[in-house]
Amino acid sequence: MPFCPKCKYEYRATTKTCPECKVDLVEQLDEMPTSSEDYAEVYMASNRMEADVICSILEENGVAYLVRDLRMFPVLPDLGGRRARLWIAVPQSQEEQARKVLKEARSDGALTDQGRFL
């Protein structure tokens, strides 16, 4: 699956350019571990804006992350009642820290309750 080198979103194999960043996708990110088992999925965002907030929170706290975009057509906006399928994953070694930071963000109101913890 290809990744955006700028926002770290992962897209389906048919996508060639990040619809948000307008850059060509790459096969692997430089800081990404060699196997997908090294990452743990911790949160499912309900839309791109929520995913971006989560990524900012994780980045501010020194937690690496990936976002897997599982929508059928990731170039379309999140309209109507459709829920996005944006899964945020972190290295297993940082999973506990990520969950703690995100739960604190939710209790502080920085993160809405639209998405859900995995």
Write down the residue that tokens 């399928």 correspond to. 85
CA distance linking residue 25 with residue 1, whole number of Å: 9
Residue 9 clears pLDDT 60, i.e. is over it = yes
Mean per-residue pLDDT of the chain: 82
Whether the predicted pLDDT of 76 surpasses 70: no
Closest CA to 91 of 12, 37, 25, 20: 37
Pick from 78, 6, 75, 84: nearest CA to 43: 84
The CATH architecture that domain 9-117 belongs to is 2-Layer Sandwich (3.30)
- Domain borders along the chain are 9-117
Distance (Å, whole) CA 70 – CA 34: 21
